[in-house]
Amino acid sequence: MIEEFFKTEKAYVDKELEKYFFQLNKSEKDILLKDFITQLKEYILNKKAKRIHPILLNSAFSGIVNPMYLEDQIEQIREVSIAVELLHSGHLIHDDLLDDDVIRRGKPTFHIQLKNELNQIYKDLNVPKRDDFVDLYGRDMSILGGTQGYLLGLDIIKSAKFPEHIKLLAINEYTQAMDFLMKGQLIEEYMNYNNITMTLEQYLNIAECQKARLFEKSAKIGAILAKGNIHYQIKPLSEALLSIGQAHAIRDDLLDLEADIKAKNRSKIVYILAVQNTDEDQSKILNEIYHKDNINKNDIIEVKNIFVETNAMIIAEHLAKNLVEQSKNCLKDIYPDLNKEQKIFFNEFSDFVFDRKY
């Protein structure tokens, strides 16, 4: 049922994004900015994008608003919901650039997309140090493009047809989400470059900043715009989404296990838990493999075996399961309760986060 719900709601979000970029391009007079908007649109309107954040915003709104008024306001809230998708997309652009990733959702990442286009323009020209020039272009325009995504989302909320005092509350949550995303990224990059071994506490903090808080803020913005009760509806819903978001981050790590081993990524929960429980020989093996220039299939098997022997994967799964149970308990505390369809959705979404295979 939940996958069908996602499919239906995603279609609405994609439609709103198409509409938004059409209007944005139409209102822009500068031809160069028009071209940049087209690039941003191509990246964001990826058919493989799940659109989780706007769906959470819409579901929180629909779950709390008086059902008598939902039909009159559904178009307004769908227009607003893409704000958090633009914020999420801006973060992905920056994250991919910092990680030097080349593929996102089966297509080139934004900085690679831009580099490919400039390479096409220069393919028949003799440009000195062309590769360096193209790399800088991809980097610089992605820094600007990610930031632009944040600001476009903010402008959507500012322009929404909701009462000003409610919009101010929503804007406050949106800017807090931006702050969390940036802080999480800053901490992670600082640790990477200073070769600081990540603890479980630091991992959960980063997961909260970069994943869980955007889940929470998306739902909270929807609940605020629906005029939900701060203490009895918005607070428990926010706490539920924080737990779901952290469980989602852990599940991502479990699903991406092999890719993370290949990338020698030591900031993932399974590696962190394993390191805490290795004996001297296991620690030596992990250290040697993670310092290799290239990791082969046998290395991956050896690392996975250590993960199994130290119970790292089981502990990670238990932690994710506990977080899902926490989220369900928080959902029970919402009063007045969510409307029936959305109550079912949020409970099923909790299970989906833990059980998903992709």
* 340 Cβ neighbours under 8 A, 6+ residues apart: none
Q: Are residues 242 and 152 in the same domain?
A: no
Rounded CA separation 142/201 (Å): 31
**The residue type at 199:** T
Q: Are residues 43 and 131 in the same domain?
A: yes
* 143 Cβ neighbours under 8 A, 6+ residues apart: 94, 97
pLDDT at 297: 94
Three-state SS for 329-357 is HHHHCCCCCCCHHHHHHHHHHHHHHHHCC
> 250-279 burial by CB neighbour count: b if 16+ within 10 A, else e?
bbbbeeebeebbbebebbbbbbbbbbeebe
At which of 170, 195, 220 does a domain end? 195
Q: Are residues 108 and 37 in the same domain?
A: yes
Q: Are residues 178 and 260 in the same domain?
A: no
pLDDT at 128: 85
Contacts for 251-259: CB closer than 8 Å, 24+ residues apart: 251/320, 251/353, 251/354, 251/356, 252/211, 253/316, 254/313, 254/316, 254/317, 254/320, 255/356, 255/357, 255/358, 257/304, 257/307, 257/313, 258/300, 258/304
Helix axes 67-99, 130-158, angle to 10 degrees: 160
- Assigned token pair, 293: 């220039």
CB of 77 closer than 8 Å to CB of 13: no
* 140 Cβ neighbours under 8 A, 6+ residues apart: none
Residue 208 lies in a domain: no
Residue 216 lies in a domain: no
Rounded CA separation 76/83 (Å): 12
Q: Are residues 159 and 261 in the same domain?
A: no
Rounded CA separation 303/98 (Å): 25
Residue 272 lies in a domain: yes
Residue 283 lies in a domain: yes
From the CA atom positions of the chain, what is the Rg in Å?
A: 22
* pTM, to two decimals: 0.95
Q: Are residues 258 and 355 in the same domain?
A: yes
Q: Are residues 188 and 234 in the same domain?
A: no
Nearest 5°: phi and psi at 108?
Answer: -60, 140
Q: Are residues 315 and 173 in the same domain?
A: no
Residue 38 lies in a domain: yes
Number of domains making up the chain: 2
At which of 147, 173, 195 does a domain end? 195
pLDDT at 152: 98
Q: Are residues 108 and 237 in the same domain?
A: no
Residue 200 lies in a domain: no
Residue 207 lies in a domain: no
| pLDDT string in tens for the chain (358-residue length) | 799 999 999 999 999 999 999 999 999 999 999 999 999 999 999 999 999 999 999 999 999 999 999 999 999 999 999 999 999 999 999 999 999 999 999 999 999 999 999 999 988 888 788 899 999 999 999 999 999 999 999 999 999 999 999 999 999 999 999 999 999 999 999 998 998 989 999 999 999 999 999 999 999 999 999 999 999 999 999 999 999 999 999 999 999 999 999 999 999 999 999 999 999 999 999 999 999 999 999 999 999 999 999 999 999 999 999 999 999 999 999 999 999 999 999 999 999 999 988 8
pLDDT at 299: 96
Residue 205 lies in a domain: no
Q: Are residues 176 and 252 in the same domain?
A: no
- Assigned token pair, 256: 């991406």
Helices marked H in 101-212 — which ranges? 110-121, 130-158, 164-193, 200-207
What CATH number is given to the structural domain containing 240?
A: 1.10.600.10
Domain region containing 169? 1-195
Q: Are residues 54 and 181 in the same domain?
A: yes
At which of 169, 195, 221 does a domain end? 195
Nearest to 250 by CA among 332, 147, 321: 321
CA distances from 24 to 141, 155, 156, 215, 329 (A): 19, 12, 11, 26, 42
Q: Are residues 103 and 7 in the same domain?
A: yes
